Amino acid sequence: MGERGQRPDETGRVVPPRASHASLPAVRRLLIYFLLPLPCCSGKEAATFLIAQGSAATLSPRHGPCDFESARPAGVVSFDETSRQYRARSVGRVRIGCEQSDVVIDVRPVDHIEIDGPGLGRVGDNQSFVVRAFDKEGNPLLVSDDDPVTWRFEGALQGRAGPGCGDLMTACTARNKGYAVTIAAGQGLVHASFHGHDATHPVRVVPPETDGR
């Protein structure tokens, strides 16, 4: 036998042991540790957004200037660089390089929709409703204010015009919201259609308050 840690090979020669991280000087081990790429931490931090296929949204300026031409794969979303608005064209994931943090847009097909709004009201109340979209796992999907939704009201509800926009308004009426007024005591129904999906929401309307006379 040779020195400690050595062993002879098939020809009888003494073969020194292979170097390992543990046998390297401490400084070299530290250099190897910090220079090796870490799978969990490689690349820039990214913010991920789940968005309904066919919907549109605006990229927040908090991500900094973005290189929209670097978005890969191409064709999943389309961009308007001036307004920073994007539209989800097809199902898939696209990564956009931005100065502060990269953005991952995850475009998913809508599995079902729900109507969010009041379920109770008094005669004469103005009510508003909005559509929520979900994928097949039940994850909420981003739906833009500009996404067109078809609304219909029946029973104790009647559709009304939403707030307009102009010099006194900070924003125009969202196209994905429905507006109604309660016209009679009883049961009202709200119907919404969005990207081929339908939902119904009930509203119970009670008589108006009286002054007790």
Residue type, 41: C
- The verdict on residue 14 lying in a domain is no
Residues 140-156 have pLDDT tens digits of 999 887 788 999 999 99
Sign of CA dihedral 48, 54, 55, 56: positive
Instruction: Calculate the CA 184 to chain-centre distance.
Output: 38
Provide the pLDDT for residue 209.
Answer: 80
Q: How many residues does the chain have?
A: 213
Q: Clarify whether residues 86 and 61 are in a common domain.
A: yes
Domain of residue 130, residue span: 112-206
pLDDT in tens, 15-73: 455 544 444 454 444 333 333 333 333 356 789 999 999 888 888 889 889 888 878 78
pTM: 0.69
Mark whether 135 and 63 lie in a shared domain.
Answer: no
**End-of-domain residue from the set 68, 85, 108:** 108
Q: 167-183: per-residue pLDDT in tens?
A: 444 556 667 899 999 99
**Does 97 share its domain with 180?**
no
pLDDT at 126: 95
Q: Which of 108, 123, 156 is the last residue of a domain?
A: 108
- Any residues with CB less than 8 A from the CB of 130 and at least 6 apart, and which? 115, 116, 117, 174, 176, 177, 178
Number of domains in the chain: 2
